[in-house]
Structure 1
Amino acid sequence: MWGRNHQPHVALLQEMADMEPENRVPLLVGQLEEARSYREEELKGDEVGVESLDYEPIHSLVYAQTKKGSQQRHFYGYTGLTFAKWLITILIGLLVGVVAYIVESSQEVFIMKKRDWTQETIDEGLKLPFVFLGYAAFGIALVLLSSCLVLLWAPAAAGGGVTLVMAYLNGIDIPSFFEFRTLVTKIVGTICTISSGLPIGQEGPMVHIGAAIASSLTWMHGRFPTHRKDGSRRYASPYLQTISKFTQKAWPFDFHNDKDRREFISAGTAAGLAAAFGAPIGGVLFSLEEASSFWSRKVMWRSLLCTTMATMILAWLNDRDFTLSLPGGLAFHGASVEVDLNAVPLIMVTAGSLGVLGALLNTTHGWLSPLRAPSKQGLLRVLEACCITFIAVGTMFLLSHFFGRCLPIQHGQQGEEYWFRYTCPKTDPNTGISYYNDLATLYFGVPHETIKQLFAMGYELDTYFSMRSLILHSMSFFVLFNLAYGVATPGGIFMPSIMVGASFGAFLGRVFQLYFPEENIQPGLHALVGATAMLGGVFRSSLSLVVIMMEGTGGLQYLLPAIIAIYVGNWVAHHIHHEGAYEADLERLGDVRFLQSEPPRHLIPVTAAEMMAPNVITLTEIISVSDVVKILKNTTHNGFPVIRHTEANDDGQLVGLILRHQLLLLLEQRALIEVDSEILRLPLPERFTSRDPRVTKEHVYLEHAMRVYHHCHNPHRRYLSSRPGAVDELELDDILQEHPTTNGVHEASNGTNDSKNKEIQESSESTKPEHQVSVHKRELALDLRYYMNRAPVTVRAECSAQRAYIIFRTLGLRHLCVTDSSNSVIGMITRKDIAQSAHHQAEHSVSKIALERQESDGSSYFGDRATKDILFSLP
């Protein structure tokens, strides 16, 4: 990516590009080695390799002419592309629903089997410490499996995944985040983690799982070879040696670009959350409000279809009935409480209290993050997860044994199999009364059943859980939640937040019952308000959370309390901890540069010239291969403006933009031409540049290969294409030695490049002075006119930085060229420049900003932990 810390090297390459070809190599003999070692040293510190995505389509000459010709292939106005997208959307929803059912049913089986085993061993007379050790051993074994899968096989599967889904949909590629093995690890790891006893939920992982399923279904698998000029086939790397021709294995349609895949991943994200809560509309609103940075009516319709299919198939798998009473993994249908408007002041008190608790959770997470074990010490990370599991299980057993109350199961209490007897007396044979331990029931029950019971606490049934058990459960769960928030296992923070909010809200409801006996106070209503306010305080969402709670509970009578809870909880939490859980981690990560929807206010007086990266490396339309190789080996830039020198403008006018992977593919495919070295130094003749060159089948093939480049090269690790090693793998030294620079006119061979070379040669001959010698040097070169983006978005240097931010963010750009009045490129704005300049005042100079950027890499927040630890442990 672009950056001001590359200025010395950029200036060197710029000086190199301006010199004559025969003088370039002597200048770089000693200095390029130093620059290369500087780049290698810098790259060693980049452990993750975060790259920006190419959401902007490349409107090249070949693309434009191909699109014009493709209109003839329509069948009654349709190509089948739209129909294929709808089918894939339906398939995404169905698969997400099936996976949600597997996760939900598996964890219920594990939790109930463990609880039944615990009860049986206690009834058989086994001492409680031995029962605890057996229970803890089983939980630790599950966590050990989950953490080992994460650390040894798929590190990107750790955490909830919602944060990085948001980053991806904002335009940031996270390596290996959507790999198939990451998806498998996420599913298996989530089941193991939730079943182990850790206070972790499956809602965040379901968002990641939905996005990963959408990514897998739209990921094209294809490979293509490299052609040599002599007609033989030469492969760029051993990875391609088994392929004889380009193959597109997954889908025949062209939606494998970042822009189209972004729409499917937005729908998959919505389906994941909808399946977790049984809330199809809430899932769409969550994707709109929280996850997706780019939205349209088309995405909304696809997301709604996807969420509907996910929840419908989940309902059928649960009840064998397609119904709109959609039981999700954390649905609360059956809760029935009454809402009294006189209780609004007390509802506001509950919401404010849980808003404080939500902000405290985010603050505590920030304090504990630097203390986590680093990924370089994998054994410590596994040990950390196992120790926290042991502490969690020990807390459940000890508190339940010493502070739990044995209460009788009264007539009307729903789900008698839910209540856990633990060490309480067995059923009295004379009276038939059964007992349960209220605190043990809260700890050992299936989480969504516990939450449902808390919501169902009405004023006539005030003996579900004692006040002591509710406050102990909420506070201990909150502490254990903070400890488990960030371990190296899959897991989210939705369910724990709801659990803490519902438990503490029910406790406040019981307190209000005590002090306001004349009021019709229902602890269940305050549990619902507390859960909603806790979610608002942690995530700072509004509309989506209200709809999720409404769909989850299945009652519109809770709409007013939910709205009050969201607004009060958000307002209180905002004044304690400014940002939500997702935004806080994204803001503090140095490598993940998340762009908010609104530009910072202090960018108003700043201009684009003050925010841009100067000393841009520019390429000409016809450029020598040796220059391209030197540039690619010694920089990690991913975009290069293409300029055209004219008599009126010696600096060159902007005519296009070429991406790094396009240059790499041209070199890999040996799409080279031999030209007179004078072509590389002199402005191209006007008659040569006034008309578009002829497009052939070879150009169409290469243009298509460019669009699917990242699917075939280092899939899911596109940052490797920005490394110097990507150029070394092309074995270009042999090619340059086979075609050395020679004197005299090189005899042309057959092929499309030969006619193009002849055209260039004739144009250059017509512009020579009569006394000039007709014997010149020949060089291998690339013709970029066919493949460059001919309409890159630009801004003037005087443009407001805030307006540049809006253009960049709204259009989903990766490169924004800054030009002067003569359309000469004077700088480049990328995500890195925008995100880092947004944290500095306008009066800071460029050098001071560069210095401060090097210091603001997030290390002060995360301590000695590597970027990988933070990325793959986020909620």
Structure 2
Amino acid sequence: MRWFGKHHEDADEEGEELVNLLQTVEEAHSGNPEHVAEEEQEARNLPRRRGDDEPARHQGFPTVDWNHYRSLAREHEQRVKQSIRRWSPPLKHAYLAYEAAQSWIALGLVGVLCGGIASMLDIGTDWMSDLKFGMCTRGFWISRSTCCVESRESEGCEHWRAWGAGGLLNFLAYSLIACGMACLSAFISRLSPFSAGSGLSEIKVVMSGFEVPGLLDAWTLVTKAVALMLAVGSGMSVGKEGPFIHIAMIVANVSAVLFSKFRNNEGRRRELLSSAAAAGVAVAFGAPIGGVLFSMEEVSSYFPAKTLWRSFWCAIVAVLTLQRLNFYGTEKLVMFEVQYHHNWKWFEMGPFLLLGVLGGLIGWIFNTSHHALLELRRLRGMHNFPIKETLIVSLVTSLIHYQSSFLRTSSTDMLGALFADCNTRFHLTHLTVWSCTSPVPGGILIPSLCIGSLLGRAVGLIVDATRRWVGDSGIFSVCRKTTSCITPGVYAIVGAASVLAGVTRITVCLVVIMLEITGGLEYVLPVMAAVMVSKWTGDALGRRTVYENVIEEKGYPFLDNKHDPIKNLGAADKLVGEEDKLRFLSLVSTTARDIRETLASCAYRGFPVVHSEEEMTVAGYITRESLEEIFQEGDDDISQSLVRKMATRVIQVDAAAPLDFVQDLFLTMGLRYVLVVRKSKLVGIIKKKDLIRHIHSSHKGDTSHVVH
């Protein structure tokens, strides 16, 4: 397949940009010998932080070539058919049926495991949250809801004992236990480099086509699960819903080794991870449809129709498992089911749209503050003292939250109260930005919903007070025909969706999630309108999100597929380098000695192959592993070995192709590299990291950082 820039209108005018980028890439290939770094070796190191040496900031994250793994999938199918060709027809059809059903079986297993792990995390988090207030005399391991399941609220609970009879003693016990849990969570998080935070930023990097070693290991699952229960149980302003997605994807990655279709194929495994992300959201919110849409909208860079159905299957199995393992006997799937179903009035659309504007503004302030705090932590070296930082955050949180019985409850209980049709006092959650940057596991989804619901309920109470003051006249005249005109709980729902949309910029999946967690079908239109206005407002102020803040701060390579390809990218003002600076192999003249020297002199993961050095026409592309096999085999006919091992279907672009077209190729086809030709002759190679660094450098107005 060959792609030529001349099919685009601006190819001749913008082609110089691609030529300039090639110059910087080719010079880095040969002009900087100190930079020949082994990606595989550096992948074992911890992620670099922003501010480190820019040319090496992406070296520890190997790129995944989805096209290569598609070829491996086809080869696997051919090997299976070849291995069973002599079997009897019944056995052959049975095994082929198993091969075809492996995806469904694997996703069913992932769904069951996700539901079981989520159930255990919910029970552990509830117990740790209650431990700050007292313990059950029937067993210290029993949570308050289970201990008092047979007691009436008016009579109290005879089996539950507070830590002290006085307020001061209870406060000291509350603060001491909360700080101890938070510090222990920070200590456990240090045992794995990816336990802290929600993990969604790293997941976006993985799903965009890069490897993050250690992110999806079983050890990360163990440390993150335990530290997450401690962090949420301590009362810090973090949620467990974001980390649920990370945990679900770890479960999928670990389970993949049990199935031959996924074991050694990153492309197939990506479909498994997309479905697992849907299951993570499904068990976190009880929203299987919203989980599928979340995976499609926010996580996955490639989401074909078959992945849609498999994600839905995985999410359904996960939710059913969680519901079946419900130890409290409620068997409720809807988290915050609203008991009111009043029709909203058209004059309320104004306040709803105002909530959208405020949600986008708060989201922008949140993201900007988050970015500033990450900068402060880096400059002050606060990340070197994670336990001390966590102790300060948890102590301040305890001092603030203990003053109000409303804030002392869990975030989910707070949301349930805010969404209800009752008069709840207005409080403001203060520490979400600080807590979400702390070195403990936790997400921002539920805390953002809490902030938005507080804002929305406040607006609802103001509108209701205005109606009572004005009376049922003017725009409020429609209230004469109903006993319940304005419901503050509806404003809480709309406000929650608005702020979360402003913080994360998710839209469609958020509307569906809000619909599923509340059951309020009547309020889908106000939620949709507010979410759209919130996103428009946030995008107008700045497109940066919390996840992009973390990606930039930790130096992860990431090519965002949400935004249109960037046009008019500035490049280094240089000419194309000489062709002899490009590393390539020739079918005519390459010898075994050349292969040995090539492998010893650099750590590149693949090389273009040309027919001859005189013609420089592209014959294919060969990976480093295939070259090592050729060298070990010791075949005298190097040309035939190269033809046998190399990939002949490689993507090529003309040197006159505009850079936004090249970027679009990387985004839509999941490529790791493209070969660049001029008049059918090979002149260079661009890899995904080259383009990312070029974009990053162009934003800074400096192209000196564009390296291989």
* Letter paired with 2:450: M
Partners of 2:344 and 2:382 lie apart in 1 by 55
Q: How high is the TM-score relative to the length of structure 1?
A: 0.66
Partners of 1:125 and 1:319 lie apart in 2 by 31
Give the structure 2 partner of residue 787 of structure 1.
Answer: 645
Q: Is the 8 A contact 1:602 1:841 kept in 2?
A: no
From 261, 271, 280, the equivalent of 2:269 is 261
3-state SS of the aligned residue for 1:784? helix
Q: Is the 8 A contact 2:195 2:220 kept in 1?
A: yes
Partners of 2:575 and 2:289 lie apart in 1 by 43
Q: Does 1:501 align with 2:452?
A: yes
- Higher mean alpha-carbon deviation, 254-263 vs 609-618, is at 609-618
3-state SS of the aligned residue for 1:289? helix
Give the structure 2 partner of residue 594 of structure 1.
Answer: 559
Q: Is the 8 A contact 2:609 2:621 kept in 1?
A: yes
* Letter paired with 1:156: F
Matches within 5 A, 1:312-391: 312-318=320-326, 326-327=333-334, 331-341=335-345, 342-372=347-377, 380-391=385-396
Q: Is the 8 A contact 2:339 2:420 kept in 1?
A: yes
Q: CA deviation at 1:832?
A: 1.8
User: Taking structure 1 as reference, are residues 258 and 303 closer, same or farther at Cα in structure 2, changes over 3 Å only?
Assistant: same
Q: Which has the higher Rg, Structure 1 or Structure 2? A: 1
Give the structure 2 partner of residue 730 of structure 1.
Answer: none
Per-residue CA distance 1:741-773 (angstroms, 9 max, x = gap) = xxxxxxxxxxxxxxxxxxxxxxxxxxxxxxxxx
* Letter paired with 2:407: Y
Give the structure 1 partner of residue 686 of structure 2.
Answer: 829
Matches within 5 A, 1:470-549: 470=426, 473-474=427-428, 477=429, 479-517=430-468, 518=471, 519=476, 520-549=485-514
Q: Does 1:180 align with 2:145?
A: no
Matches within 5 A, 1:442-841: 442-457=406-421, 461-462=422-423, 465-466=424-425, 470=426, 473-474=427-428, 477=429, 479-517=430-468, 518=471, 519=476, 520-586=485-551, 590-603=555-568, 615-621=581-587, 623-645=590-612, 650-664=614-628, 670-673=632-635, 675=636, 783-822=641-680, 824-838=681-695
Partners of 1:281 and 1:530 lie apart in 2 by 22
Matches within 5 A, 1:122-521: 124-126=164-166, 128=168, 130-151=169-190, 153-219=191-257, 250-253=258-261, 256-318=264-326, 326-327=333-334, 331-341=335-345, 342-372=347-377, 380-397=385-402, 400=403, 439-440=404-405, 442-457=406-421, 461-462=422-423, 465-466=424-425, 470=426, 473-474=427-428, 477=429, 479-517=430-468, 518=471, 519=476, 520-521=485-486
Percent identity reads 25
Q: Is the 8 A contact 1:529 1:565 kept in 2?
A: yes
Taking only aligned residues, the RMSD between alpha carbons, in angstroms, comes to: 3.7
Give the structure 2 partner of residue 50 of structure 1.
Answer: 61
3-state SS of the aligned residue for 2:557? coil
Partners of 2:289 and 2:246 lie apart in 1 by 18
From 13, 19, 29, the equivalent of 1:10 is 29
Partners of 2:569 and 2:104 lie apart in 1 by 42
Q: CA deviation at 1:524?
A: 0.8
Give the structure 1 partner of residue 129 of structure 2.
Answer: 111
Q: CA deviation at 1:503?
A: 1.5
Per-residue CA distance 1:250-308 (angstroms, 9 max, x = gap) = 43446531110000000000100111010000000001111100011110010000000
* Letter paired with 1:108: D
From 67, 86, 90, the equivalent of 2:104 is 86
Partners of 1:613 and 1:548 lie apart in 2 by 56
Q: Is the 8 A contact 1:337 1:524 kept in 2?
A: no
Q: Which has the higher contact order (CA 8 A, sep 6+)?
A: 2
Per-residue CA distance 1:342-379 (angstroms, 9 max, x = gap) = 31112222232222112111010011111226898866
Partners of 1:352 and 1:66 lie apart in 2 by 53
Partners of 1:114 and 1:813 lie apart in 2 by 51
Q: Is the 8 A contact 2:261 2:268 kept in 1?
A: no
3-state SS of the aligned residue for 1:498? helix
Give the structure 1 partner of residue 6 of structure 2.
Answer: none
Q: Is the 8 A contact 1:122 1:131 kept in 2?
A: yes
User: Taking structure 1 as reference, are residues 576 and 800 closer, same or farther at Cα in structure 2, changes over 3 Å only?
Assistant: closer
User: Taking structure 1 as reference, are residues 529 and 819 closer, same or farther at Cα in structure 2, changes over 3 Å only?
Assistant: same
3-state SS of the aligned residue for 1:80? helix
3-state SS of the aligned residue for 2:290? helix
Partners of 1:610 and 1:802 lie apart in 2 by 20
Per-residue CA distance 1:413-460 (angstroms, 9 max, x = gap) = xxxxxxxxxxxxxxxxxxxxxxxxxx31x2121321220111013xxx
Partners of 1:188 and 1:555 lie apart in 2 by 34
Q: Is the 8 A contact 2:133 2:162 kept in 1?
A: no
Gaps of 5+ in 1: 13-33, 220-249, 401-438, 685-692, 694-782, 858-875
Partners of 2:299 and 2:241 lie apart in 1 by 14
Q: Is the 8 A contact 1:369 1:486 kept in 2?
A: yes
- Higher mean alpha-carbon deviation, 209-218 vs 794-803, is at 794-803
Give the structure 2 partner of residue 764 of structure 1.
Answer: none
Give the structure 1 partner of residue 147 of structure 2.
Answer: none
User: Taking structure 1 as reference, are residues 597 and 350 closer, same or farther at Cα in structure 2, changes over 3 Å only?
Assistant: closer
Partners of 1:333 and 1:564 lie apart in 2 by 21
Q: CA deviation at 1:67?
A: 2.8
- Higher mean alpha-carbon deviation, 571-580 vs 111-120, is at 111-120
Matches within 5 A, 1:822-861: 822=680, 824-838=681-695, 850-851=703-704, 853=706
